[in-house]
Amino acid sequence: MGELRIYNTLTRREEVFVPREPGKVSMYACGLTPQAPAHVGHMRGVIVMDIVQRWFEQLGYEVNFVQNFTDIDDKIIRRAQEEGISTQEVAEKYSRMYIEDAQALGVRLPRFVKVTEHMNDIIEMVQRLVEYGYAYVVDGDVYFSVERFPEYGKLSGRSIDEMRAGARVEVDERKRNPLDFALWKAAKPGEPAWDSPWGPGRPGWHIECTTLSLKYLGAAFDIHAGGMDLIFPHHENEIAQSEAYLRCEMPFVRYWLHWGPVRLKEQKMSKSTGVFVPIRELRQQYEPAVIRLFLLSVAYRTPLEFSYERLEEAGAALERMRTAVQRARALLRTLPQLPEPEEVVAQPYREQFREAMNSDFNTAQALAIAFEVVREINQRLSDAEGTGGLQTAGALLALLNALQWMVETVLGVPLEIRAAPEMELLNQLMERVIDWRQQLRARKIFDLADRIRDDLKSLGILLEDSPQGTLWRLKGD
């Protein structure tokens, strides 16, 4: 099968994946600050991690995947004031929407953990950093001293001097170094606050992920993931405070995985700039499977340019897949008995697909292999028009099984439209009607078979006969 190779941001190269514990994978991804509806850029990261988890499971690993909700933050406080509700209500409202959007796109949810439910853990970690001499207290604020951590900058590849020269941070003369970052923030009037040894306040941004990931996954866990925009300062700061806290040779994380941004008109999607497309709005225009296929169309580290034209292309590509599957299944239904799958036909495609996924989860290449399978299915169907279905049925069955494994099981894209209950009932009914009509035609009762076709047409349901069987569709589809 080959070895799984992952691009590690820390070492700037692809590495063979070796887990901390044999047969187990521990993963953490930086989650949402729930203060507004999620946009397409947020969903790319969600889909990437869903694919990573799915592939690890295909390789036989037991996966422990944790993701946080930063449910207290300046933006959440502002949103609460705007909407006239509590910060907790804001966070719960938009967290729930985010989960609904992810599930609609076929994502299997990780274990979600909330910052506000772990204040004691966060305070304990900050205390340790102060005791160890890595942090200092100023007027109720606690700052991490970057100069106390000699390896600061190893993730982003920049030295402290370079970062200081290009730093865009608020001027605060109380800091020993402009790059020092807050571990704990003293409370401002009217803001939510928690008691601490330094007075009422709340956590800084970076300490949250360190505390939660170490609590649930332990030191040297396997994969820490996030968008490329988090490499500096967020993940750089996480490494510094985590490895200072651990005070040992053991690294905080073994592999750092970062996905590229989704861009709109060559700008990164971001609520702060107003350049974004809400995922809920897009779900009203496109089937979730189409959105998912679009998000998988390029390798995860490559920036993805959003456009409605590319979504239409994804929709057309999915339709080609589904049409091939539908035609093949229609032919197989005409056979009195299904043969054994000719796995030798599909095996080369399976191996190529595995190699693509083992090459840093390359979904773009994996999809290209899946479409090669579709091409061969269509060729086999064309051949069957002249030779009959029996000669190619075993090959078709193997190719269908392979395609379903690739596209549905691994990539999470359904090859059948997820119909509403009423539509599902209609699907089942039409399968019965087509079967009854085929029995009539086999008994040469053509007038009644034709009357069924014509009556359905008058109701807006079209039957299309072909050598591979009979398909149905609604008029206008």
Note the pLDDT of residue 170.
Answer: 56
Note the pLDDT of residue 49.
Answer: 98
Q: What is the CA radius of gyration of the chain?
A: 27
Cα angle vertex 400, ends 335, 299, to 5°?
165
Of the candidates 465, 458, 456, the one whose C-alpha atom is nearest the C-alpha of residue 433 is 456
**CATH 1.20.120 residue window(s) in the chain:** 318-410
Integer Cα distance of 242 and 248 in angstroms = 10
Q: Which CATH number fits domain 318-410: 1.10.600, 1.20.120, 3.30.2390, 2.40.50?
A: 1.20.120
**CATH 3.40.50.620 residue window(s) in the chain:** 5-285
Length of the chain: 477
pTM of the model: 0.86
In order of 69, 104, 227, 321, the CA distances from 96 in angstroms are 11, 12, 22, 33
Write phi, then psi, for 406 (nearest 5 degrees): -65, -55
Note the pLDDT of residue 247.
Answer: 92
The CATH T-level fold of domain 5-285 is: Rossmann fold (3.40.50)
Q: pLDDT 10s per residue in the chain (477 long)?
A: 579 999 999 999 999 999 999 999 999 999 999 999 999 999 999 999 999 999 999 999 999 999 999 999 999 999 999 999 999 999 999 999 999 999 999 999 999 999 999 999 999 999 999 999 999 999 999 999 999 999 999 999 988 777 765 455 556 778 999 999 999 999 999 899 999 999 999 999 999 999 999 999 999 999 999 999 999 999 999 999 999 999 977 899 999 999 999 998 777 777 666 778 999 999 989 999 999 999 999 999 999 999 999 999 999 999 999 999 999 998 888 888 888 999 999 999 999 999 999 999 999 999 999 999 999 999 999 888 766 666 789 999 999 999 999 999 999 999 987 655 555 677 778 888 888 898 888 888 989 989 998 888 888 888 877 655 677 777 655
